[in-house]
Structure 1
């Protein structure tokens, strides 16, 4: 009996043109070899990061998708090595990283699983960019990261000193590192202000320029301002909203109140209502191209 005859297979294959089978090439291709090599490299990359000492504390922020995003940033030449944490938060952790030509950059890694919708809700409601994804945590976080990247670009264009945005990949944002070889730039709350009056004038102008460009920071305080090489820098602009957001006025008043209260404690003649009146009277907010 021919092998397979008892199952009726021989009869079904009779008359089939052998040329059709010759067209099915199951040999290894260059694409297969590249894919396998990339899989091995990614596995080694992930294992190397997981075994790194500093990630044993903050490792909860790194899932496989985050490892894949970091690996893509390495492959694309944005980063070469990842260092220790700069800061940790409920929504994201910030790490040092080494870019080509020995440049230090910062990478902000958002926690997809740990992100709290209740903290994001006030900034998402009324924003048409989030209408169709508000109930999907992963999609909201990924959109939030792109929003922060766009807000940085817009603030920089408006003449506000912010970390220079470099790249974004899924839940990872690469941006300028603020600080020196010994430590990251201190927040305004921890910095030694030689001239608080001048610092207040700079921050007041930053708020005005943001508003003039159609943005409200939404969470501005001494904890989201840092001093880098003598310059005041605005950070954490992911929650910044446009002036058409239904809560933009409330957010702007809160920003002005927080900033004025801090500088008043530093001896500056600052008042939240006066700051708000100055900003709205001196700025001409507009919605331009490339809304973040």
Structure 2
């Protein structure tokens, strides 16, 4: 195949070295320089704190930029110490406004220090378990076509946890309220206080295990009817505070049409049944699974089949839908 290459016709006066160029500052230039200067000052200020020196591996420049954006938007005013530290993520206490708005000076919200406490969860891009995260992301239609590199996976994982928390709360499941997300940083409700950390279910003596079990299985059912399976539910991912049972760590939660949804649900049921059996309750994981997957009654009297009772590839209709 032959191609024709056409030369452009020169303009009458193309210009020369004496041509005047407008190199004056624009408002955009001034704003950009100010933002760069403010971010540099913010980075130096944070890096000079004792908490940063202890958690330096968490705050690379990209993470600091994400935190800075959250500060600029009013979601975070000040950082406190770590609430929990793990290999993949650290959670810090912080002060911040509600829904991105700082309380008015002198208002009740501004006066109440606890009313402004939030949790800031920072995922480490370099040390996160890339392969395990991909196992939970692959097959989730919300994240089809995700790039095959660690940074993209961690950023998707952070947004996934934010989305899962929002969906769980809409379904009536007590989870930390999601507030904002920026790259690998998630801002959410701080359950408890740093000086009075909410205890995991594994750390407390359950006074009324029957009631606790009824709450857990109902939350599992509500999640399922909202199209989600926790995927790592156990006594280590539920906390107790002020008489409330709160489900945490929703990052790995998958949709009911995920290829491994059935396996994840079975594991959740086994974990929950094992824990409450140790508390003296006779819990059968198969009975729990049947309760969780029971179709929601339809007002017309017909069973609601919008969520299949058997998620995962074991169900032929799911296989057809996922292919």
Task: Indicate whether 1:75 and 2:88 are aligned.
Answer: no
Match of 1:74, SS state, is helix
Which one of 193, 198, 202 corresponds to residue 206 of structure 2?
193
CA positional deviation for 1:124? 2.4
CA contact (8 A) 1:208 1:282 kept: no
CA distance in 2, matches of 1:16, 1:147: 53
**Unaligned 5+ residue runs, structure 1?**
1-14, 288-292
Match of 2:164, SS state, is helix
CA positional deviation for 1:56? 1.7
Aligned to 1:65: 62
Aligned to 1:249: 262
Which one of 177, 190, 196 corresponds to residue 164 of structure 1?
177
Task: Name whichever of 61-70 and 29-38 sits farther off.
Answer: 29-38
Aligned to 2:47: 50
CA positional deviation for 1:153? 0.6
CA positional deviation for 1:191? 2.4
TM-score computed with the length of structure 1 as normaliser: 0.87
CA positional deviation for 1:57? 2.1
Aligned to 2:162: 149
CA contact (8 A) 1:130 1:140 kept: no
Match of 1:121, SS state, is helix
Aligned to 2:96: 99
Aligned to 1:7: none
1:44-97: CA deviations, max 9, x gaps?
111121121122222101111100000000001111011111111122111111
Match of 1:93, SS state, is strand
Match of 1:268, SS state, is coil
Task: Indicate whether 1:41 and 2:38 are aligned.
Answer: yes
Task: Name whichever of 29-38 and 102-111 sits farther off.
Answer: 29-38
CA positional deviation for 1:183? 2.1
CA distance in 2, matches of 1:195, 1:225: 15
Match of 2:251, SS state, is coil
Aligned to 2:233: 220
CA positional deviation for 1:193? 2.0
1:22-64: CA deviations, max 9, x gaps?
4x22123333222222212111111121121122222101111
**Unaligned 5+ residue runs, structure 2?**
1-12, 98-109, 297-303, 308-323
CA positional deviation for 1:105? 0.1
Task: Name whichever of 108-117 and 32-41 sits farther off.
Answer: 32-41
* Match runs of 1:86-125 below 5 Å: 86-100=83-97, 101=110, 102=113, 103-125=116-138
Q: How much is the aligned-residue C-alpha RMSD, in angstroms?
A: 2.0
Compared with structure 1, are the counterparts of its residues 46 and 17 closer, same or farther at alpha carbon in structure 2 (3 Å cutoff)? closer
Higher relative contact order (CA 8 A, sep 6+): 1
Compared with structure 1, are the counterparts of its residues 251 and 16 closer, same or farther at alpha carbon in structure 2 (3 Å cutoff)? closer
CA positional deviation for 1:203? 0.3
Aligned to 1:138: 151
Match of 2:91, SS state, is strand
TM-score computed with the length of structure 2 as normaliser: 0.79
